Amino acid sequence: MKASYVWPSLLLMILVIYSVRMLPMVLLRRNITNRFIRSFLYYVPYVTLSVMTFPAIIRATDDIRCGFAALAAGLVTAWVFQDLFIVALSCCAAVLLTGFIF
């Protein structure tokens, strides 16, 4: 890839992604009192992350069964340990192990 294409492109995307994060932080400086908007914002991350996780996780691997194993491992370890590193690693381990079996 040409550097003359990559660098300006990166700069552009860096500026755009920062703006997406920064605009609400800077513009919404007062406490939002509207109960609906407060509730909406409270639920947003959980919906977004759920949608991003499933079904993408089962399709991420070559064998869909390994993906299911990763999902199961992730659900259990997230429920029990609640630790990001343990959960991420368990998902990988599940794919490795089932990959040898299937």
Partner 1 sequence: MKQKTEKTGSEWLRQGFRAGIPICLGYFAVAIALGINCRNAGMSALQSGVMSVFMLASAGEFAAVTLLSTGAGALEMIVTTIIVNLRYLLMGAALSQKVSSRERLIHRFGMSYCITDELFGLCASVEGKVSPWYAYGAAIIAAAGWTGGTVLGVVIGSVLPHFIVDALSVSLYGMFLAVIIPAARKTRAIALIVVISMAASLAMSEMPVLKDISSGFRIIILTIVIAGAAAIVRPVDEPDTESEVD
**46-85 positions binding partner 1, by CB under 8 A:** 46-57, 60-62, 66-67, 70-71, 73-75, 78-79, 82-85
Cβ at position 68, least distance to partner 1 in Å: 11
User: Do 53 and 68 form a contact (C-beta atoms < 8 A)?
Assistant: no
Cβ at position 66, least distance to partner 1 in Å: 7
User: What's the token pair of residue 56?
Assistant: 């993408």
User: What's the token pair of residue 63?
Assistant: 């064998």
How many other CB atoms sit within 10 Å of the CB of residue 98? 19
Cis peptide before 8 (omega within 30 of 0): no
Q: Based on the shown chain and the rule CB under 8 A, indicate whether residue 21 belongs to the binding site for partner 1.
A: yes
Per rule CB under 8 A, count of chain residues that contact partner 1: 77
User: Do 95 and 61 form a contact (C-beta atoms < 8 A)?
Assistant: yes
One-letter amino acid identity for 66?
A: C
Cβ at position 4, least distance to partner 1 in Å: 12
Q: Which of 4, 64, 65, 88 binds partner 1 (CB under 8 A)?
A: 88
